[in-house]
A and B are shown apart, each in its own frame.
Chain A
Amino acid sequence: MAAETGTPTTLTLKSNDDELFSVAESAAILSVTIRNMVEDGCAGGVIPLDNVDGKTLASVITYMNGISAIPADEEKKKSYRDKFLSDKDFETLADMVLAANYLNMSCLMDAVSAKIAQVMEKKSVGWVRRKFGIENDYTPEEEAAVKEEHKWTFEGVETDDDN
């Protein structure tokens, strides 16, 4: 492969807000979406990624470079992923899970999903509605009935931190 000759192939990725990023092909093909474009030969010029903004793409590329530098050691990869996601807030994680979904990167998708779940675990129903932008379509009576059914699950919920 190109990497062995000492001149690794680089790809140029373009975010939806027109930022350009250079990334080694060997790292970029962690994304099945990009790998397919490379294999189909449409990666010659600039690869436009219409669903990812520059800030998120920069973060995804940091991840691509970081994880592909680690040899096949699942423990080390896992600890890299944990560290990489440790300081990200909910909004950043939500952007990343959408990017991972669009780029078809299952390892990032699984890690970010698990991290979001970890953030949500002790949150209130109201917090989840606000953060996910979900409209409450229950009538007050219906909502009370659903809550009553699993009353014990409302114990130990954290106080909302987003107000």
Chain B
Amino acid sequence: MAANHSEQVPPFLPLHVIETILINLPAKSLLRFKAVSKSWNTTISDPVFVQNHLHQSKTSNSRNLFLCRSILIFSCYDSKKFSLARVDQDRRLRTLQVVESPRGFYTLVLCYCDGVLLLTSAEDRRSGVEFVLWNPSTQTQTIFRLPFELSTDFKCYGLCHDPGIGDFKVVVICSNHYAVYSCKNKAWTRKKEFGDTFRVAYHPGVFVDGVVYWLMMEKDERRYKLTYFDPRDDEFKMPNDEHRIFEVQRPTYMIDFGGRLCVYYYEARDKVVHIWIKEKGVDNNSWKELITIENVERFASYFVPMCFVENKIVVRLRGTTVVLYNPSEKTFEEFEDTTHYFDFLSV
């Protein structure tokens, strides 16, 4: 019987079984299979399916995919290309796809979430700052402007996605207030002033748990404080962060590590980087130490943990150097051919 499968009548799979199968596919295959039939196209395009797929893709974080700005040799910053790259077992980055970014915008990524990037225009316009929200996998984009009266000197950006209502929100923190752009309503809301200067550590907001996290500095500058923007009511909130990782002032950074909020800091005396991650969920504030990286001679903002390959951790060092740290031997092995990759965004 098994030998004659090709002559067998294909099985009839009910729609919910097909959905259970499709949810495991990467976006590239799904988009291709829209061409199978009208009903498959309807299923794959259904907003509920899209949300479930997103959730599924995020929870299986073993794919180790990154979106990188491509650098062409001799033309450091004019490259308009982004590459989707996968970290492979053999200490290589494999380019899966190369896409051209929207014309007229810098390729510097202000912030990103759920595979969507926020970029800003190459030239200042009188009417305000121009932004584009760009989805490299579907090659779609939305352009909008931050009105001049809302923008002041210092800016810090955050982006969040509410799959429940299919809205993307852009948060712009200026020196003493913040503004929120809703893509669904196509409108800005200026939010109330902060009492004093909003002292967020300068970095893009980190979208995890459905909210955007920032680290801010306490007034006496002795402690970091965790804060997040909640897209449900457009307010900033202070979770309970009574944890020793926030206590002492030292170089501290925050990133999204495989869908979890991750904080890491450098202990210069011991030449050690401690990496902590938070349990999932906006209301869960328990932290645990993920890994300690020893023998770190130099540390700055370019030091970024990326992902695990088995029990070893991939770290971007300065420039385009990417290494694999072996915790049992405390050694670093360099990746080959990483010179084309810059600015790794976890996708």
Residues in A lying within 8 Å of B, measured CB to CB:
55, 89-92, 94-95, 97-98, 101, 109-110, 113-114, 116-118, 120-122, 125, 128-138, 143, 146-147, 149-150, 152-155, 157, 162
- Given known pairs A98-B13, A109-B20, A133-B11, the reply for A143 and B38 (CB within 8 Å) is no
* Beta-carbon nearest neighbor of B60 in chain A: A114
CA gap between A82 and B323 in the complex, in Å: 30
- Given known pairs A137-B38, A138-B35, A138-B37, the reply for A89 and B17 (CB within 8 Å) is no
- Given known pairs A94-B11, A101-B14, A109-B20, the reply for A125 and B36 (CB within 8 Å) is yes
A142 to chain B, nearest CB (A): 8
Contact A117 B32 (CB under 8 A): no
Interface segment, B1-9, B235-243, B302-310, B312-320?
B1-9
B1: which A residues are within 8 A, CB to CB? 55
A-facing mask of B5-35, CB < 8 A → 1, else 0? 1101111111001101111111011011111
A98: which B residues are within 8 A, CB to CB? 11, 13, 17
B41: which A residues are within 8 A, CB to CB? 146
Contact B38 A133 (CB under 8 A): no
Contact A129 B17 (CB under 8 A): no
Contact B8 A91 (CB under 8 A): yes
B34: which A residues are within 8 A, CB to CB? 146, 149-150
A90-B5, A121-B26, A125-B35 given; name 11 further pairs at CB < 8 Å: A94-B13, A113-B20, A117-B25, A120-B21, A120-B33, A129-B36, A132-B10, A132-B13, A132-B18, A147-B35, A153-B28
* Beta-carbon nearest neighbor of B25 in chain A: A117
B5 to chain A, nearest CB (A): 5
A90: which B residues are within 8 A, CB to CB? 5
Contact A113 B21 (CB under 8 A): yes
**Which label, helix, strand, loop or mixed, suits the secondary structure of the A interface?**
helix
A65 to chain B, nearest CB (A): 22
A113 to chain B, nearest CB (A): 5
B127 to chain A, nearest CB (A): 32
CA gap between A143 and B37 in the complex, in Å: 9
* Beta-carbon nearest neighbor of B40 in chain A: A134
B21: which A residues are within 8 A, CB to CB? 97, 113, 116-117, 120
Residues in B lying within 8 Å of A, measured CB to CB:
1-2, 5-6, 8-14, 17-18, 20-26, 28-29, 31-41, 97, 99, 138-139
A55: which B residues are within 8 A, CB to CB? 1
A137: which B residues are within 8 A, CB to CB? 37-39
A116: which B residues are within 8 A, CB to CB? 21, 24
Which of A89, A90, A117, A153 has most chain B Cβ within 10 Å? A153
A92: which B residues are within 8 A, CB to CB? 2
CA gap between A69 and B10 in the complex, in Å: 34
CA gap between A133 and B138 in the complex, in Å: 28
Contact residue among A114, A117, A125, A152 (Cβ-Cβ distance under 8 Å from B97):
A152
What 3 pairs across the A-B complex have the smallest Cβ distances? Answer: A133-B10, A117-B24, A153-B32
B53 to chain A, nearest CB (A): 11
B56 to chain A, nearest CB (A): 10
* Beta-carbon nearest neighbor of A138 in chain B: B38
Contact B20 A136 (CB under 8 A): no
CA gap between A137 and B23 in the complex, in Å: 23
CA gap between A121 and B24 in the complex, in Å: 9
Contact B14 A133 (CB under 8 A): no
Contact residue among A91, A136, A149, A155 (Cβ-Cβ distance under 8 Å from B37):
A136
* Beta-carbon nearest neighbor of A109 in chain B: B20
CA gap between A104 and B24 in the complex, in Å: 19
B11 to chain A, nearest CB (A): 4
- Would you mind naming 14 contact pairs between A and B with Cβ atoms under 8 Å apart? A89-B2, A89-B5, A91-B11, A94-B11, A109-B20, A113-B23, A120-B29, A131-B10, A132-B36, A137-B39, A138-B38, A146-B35, A146-B41, A162-B6
Which of B13, B17, B36 has most chain A Cβ within 10 Å? B36
B36: which A residues are within 8 A, CB to CB? 125, 128-129, 132, 134, 136
B32: which A residues are within 8 A, CB to CB? 125, 150, 153-154, 157
CA gap between A130 and B11 in the complex, in Å: 10
Which of B2, B26, B35, B39 has most chain A Cβ within 10 Å? B35
* Beta-carbon nearest neighbor of B12 in chain A: A133
Contact A101 B25 (CB under 8 A): no
CA gap between A90 and B2 in the complex, in Å: 11
